[in-house]
Amino acid sequence: MGNSRFRNAPFFIFFLVVFASSAALAEISPKQLLNNIFQPSTPNEYYASYVSIRPSGMQFSDVYSGVVNKGRYKRTVLSGDVDIEVLSSPMAVSYYDAKTEQKISYPKEFLNSQLELLSSSLEKVRNYYSIQVVENAERVAERETYRLSVMAKLPGRYSRVYWIDKSNFIILRLDVLDTDGQLIERIKCTSLVFKEQEKHKLIVSKDKEQFYELDVQLKPLSDRIKLGWLPDEYEIVSSIDVLNGDAIETQFMLSDGFSKITVMINPHHTVSSTIDANHERDAWQKYVINSDGQQVVVSGDVPLAIVKKIATNISR
């Protein structure tokens, strides 16, 4: 469909975490902390820079966040191998690919982050993740922080630890740990500046009229697609169709209330199953199957064995 770069773009944008040697339990609860992250009493306008360190390489991003008509807007510029700008609004997340001059806008609920999912299902998720907030953790970007740990109890899941600005509840650091507790990815804020937002910073810097927009439609689960296996506690939380000319790609978002897996099925796309970005030790895994004119792509923030088992158990 020509939008394979977009199909991975949502998953470059998950921020923050890491452990400190000594810390005390925080007076704030996980629920209160999450509420402050997503419903701050005084929305802040800021600029931030992040670096992502993975086995597959480093990536940099710049974030401009502000408030327009009482709604939070954020623009993220990804640099490195990917030249994509992301504009997030209360209703949608739009991706602008400079190379293909394509735009795709996902409904916001389809791309809820791990912490947004956790906030909406905290008590359920406690059954299979240990969740704890401590304070006096190390400073990040010269800011005092809370540390939120979300540690997997069930197999086949990664754990995450978030460093969150104590005053403004901005996620400043993320460590992703594999099933053996080993660090596999770190995303860290290197600069954070609070200032009145320049409104033009919330508009994609390139001319929007140049971009061809792919059509995205929310859809119920198709009876033609059978997911033969899912990890414990995972379920389908959203489904969409992405239309590009006469090609229709169906995407399903799966979640256990925190971790996320995406299934993409495209009956019109037959390409090589070689995946340049498939590094088994990165935090985001991807597995592709091409057969009978149908391509299945399963990706997620879980071990490669999990995404492979889901992909090989999908039928029509």
Q: Are residues 11 and 108 in the same domain?
A: yes
Q: Are residues 235 and 280 in the same domain?
A: yes
Q: What tokens were used for 220?
A: 């119920």
161 pLDDT higher than 90: yes
Whether 274 has a pLDDT exceeding 60, the answer reads no
Q: Mark whether 11 and 98 lie in a shared domain.
A: yes
Residue 81: pLDDT over 60: no
Written as six digits, the tokens of 14 are 């998950």
- What is the predicted pLDDT for the residue at 202? 64
**Do 226 and 146 belong together in one domain?**
no
pLDDT of residue 67: 76
**Mean pLDDT, all residues of the chain:** 83
Tell me whether residue 234 is in a domain: yes
Residues 97 and 191 in one domain: yes
Residues 53 and 134 in one domain: yes
Same domain? 56 vs 184: yes
Domain boundary pick from 178, 202, 226: 202
Please check the confidence at residue 20 and state whether its pLDDT lies above 50.
Answer: no
Any domain includes 207: no
Domain co-membership, 50 together with 102: yes
Mean pLDDT of 87-94: 88
Q: Domain total for the chain?
A: 2
Question: Which among 202, 237, 255 is the end of a domain?
Answer: 202
In this prediction, residue 206 carries a pLDDT of: 57
Domain boundary among 175, 202, 229: 202
Determine the structural domain holding residue 251 and report its residue range: 214-315
In a domain, 82, yes or no: yes
If asked whether residues 186 and 240 sit together in one domain, one would say: no
pLDDT at 15 over 60: no
Q: What is the pLDDT of residue 100?
A: 83
- Decide if 59 is inside a domain: yes
- Tell me the mean pLDDT in the region 84-92: 86
Q: Is residue 269 in a domain?
A: yes
Question: Looking at residue 99, which CATH number applies to its domain?
Answer: 2.50.20.10
Based on the fold, state whether residues 144 and 245 are members of the same structural domain.
Answer: no
Note the pLDDT of residue 257: 97
**Spatial distance between the Cα atoms of 140 and 190, rounded to a whole number of angstroms:** 8
Q: Span 22-36, mean pLDDT?
A: 85
Beta-carbon contacts of 127 under 8 Å, excluding residues fewer than 6 positions away, are: 153, 233
Percent with pLDDT over 90 in the chain? 48
Q: What is the pLDDT of residue 141?
A: 93
CB neighbour class for 72 (10 Å; exposed up to 12, middle 13-18, buried from 19): middle
CATH, residue 276: 3.30.200.100
Q: Are residues 193 and 225 in the same domain?
A: no
Model confidence pLDDT, tens digit, residues 139-160:
999 999 999 999 999 999 999 9
C-alpha span between 68 and 71 (Å, rounded)? 5
Judge whether 67 lies within some domain.
yes
> Does residue 85 lie in a domain region?
yes
Cβ partners under 8 Å of residue 178, min gap 6: 158, 184, 281, 303
The arithmetic mean of pLDDT across residues 259-274, rounded, is 74
198 and 231 both lie in a single domain:
no
Q: Which residue has the higher pLDDT, 73 or 278?
A: 73
